Amino acid sequence: MKTNKTLTLALAVVLASGFNGTAIAAGGGTVLADPGAMEGKHFDPKGKMPSTFTIELQNGLRRTLPFEDKRDFEEAKHGFIAAPTYRQIMAEAGNVAWDMGSYEYLLQGKDFDSVHPSLQRQAILNMAYGLYEVVPGKIWQVRGFDLANISFIKSDTGWIVFDPLTAKETAKAALELINEKVGKRPVVAVVYSHSHADHYGGVRGVVDEADVKSGKVPIIAPVGFMKHAVSENVYAGNAMNRRMFFQYGVLLPRSPFGHVDQSIGKNTAAGNLGLIPPTRIIEKDLEELTIDGVTMVFQNTPGTEAPAEMNTYFPQIKAFWAAENITGTVTTQVILTS
């Protein structure tokens, strides 16, 4: 009973305050570019180059794995519309929230013996940066702005935004990019696929909380979303944050000896992480909802990639969205069309 009361209190606090984190909560510290990365130099003066054993091992992997198959690289280009003119996104606090340019060392066609060949391949695939059309005239994604991708579904009068990234700044930049390239439209709804912060933390970059509270813009999430978001980021926040620093190596310089990639995506943004509580919870196993002319069939999938998660089917355009329940190898988000 005490645990239930404590959870209720924590939820009440988050609901009342709208939860807003810092750059540390979102991505950790700052972006550390390494000027020696292009030359394959070690960022640490005490760092060692790969041993003969390591080089032999990496060369063996290059010979035995099918690196000649380039289909993933062609598919990664499909639907590309435009990249922004900038490579950095600044945080409101003044630090660099995102720097795609710090990974340019990956694009010079060089094999780095300090990096597992499969990780280097995935890191290059994750250099996709900009706006992509997924379903012609209906669904777009902005990729390479954060760990996750942000998706935009065109409704009758606006955008339905799926998974607004980790940080306010990168999500805002993504919305500005699609409005510039496709046409400016208001956000009419936001969907959180699941309770991991890289799929909701940037919500304040795409919607005004006053519009959510007034009922103008609904935020939709799976059953159990708030419970698990609070459990991970409030109850276990300090431990989770500390684990994140080790898990992702976010304080390492961008370097073939430092931060190369996070496999599922490039990296987490070091900006403002926030949470606006959902106003519509999908309670049933299957639930249909139509917003601004777009029909969505939600499927709750608890205990899959996240404790609270859901898939979405768009019957009008025969598209299926599953966040990280379905991935192309280890890419962040995939929309499949029939």
Q: 211-241: per-residue pLDDT in tens?
A: 999 999 999 999 999 999 988 777 776 787 7
pLDDT > 60? residue 191: yes
pLDDT at 289 over 50: yes
Residue 317 domain-assigned (yes or no):
no
- Kindly report the average pLDDT of the chain as a whole number: 87
Residue 313 in any domain: the answer is no
- Pull the structure tokens for residue 309: 């998660």
CATH number for the domain spanning 116: value is: 3.60.15.30
**Domain tally, the chain:** 1
Q: Which helix (H) or strand (E) holds 132?
A: strand 130-135
How far is 41 from 47, CA to CA, in rounded Å?
9
Residue 230 lies in a domain: yes
pLDDT at 20 over 90: no
pLDDT at position 7 over 50: no
Predicted local distance difference test score (pLDDT) of residue 30:
66
Phi, psi (5° rounding) for residue 16?
-75, -40
d(C-alpha 1, C-alpha 106), whole Å: 53
The answer as to whether 89 is a domain residue is yes
Instruction: Judge contact between 251 and 177, C-beta under 8 A.
Output: no
**CA 121 remoteness from chain centre:** 19
In a domain, 107, yes or no: yes
Domain-located, residue 77:
yes
- Dist. CA 58–CA 238, nearest whole Å: 37
Over residues 82-126, the pLDDT tens digits come to 999 999 999 999 999 999 999 999 999 999 999 999 999 999 999
Domain with 263, as residue range(s), is 30-43+50-278
Distance CA 20, CA 333 (A): 25
Cα 307 to chain centroid distance, Å, stands at 17
Query: Please, which pLDDT band fits residue 242 given cuts at 50, 70 and 90?
Result: confident
Say whether pLDDT at 166 is over 90: yes
In a domain, 322, yes or no: no
Beta bridge partners of 312: 298, 321
The sign of the CA dihedral 314, 200, 193, 81 is positive
For the residues of 234-271, what is the DSSP string, one character each?
IITHHHHHHHHHHHH-TTS-BSTTSB---SSSS----S
pTM to 2 decimal places = 0.87
- 242 or 143, which is more confident: 143
Does residue 297 lie in a domain region? no
Instruction: Say what the pLDDT of residue 329 is.
Output: 60
What's the pLDDT band for 170 if we cut at 50, 70, 90? very high
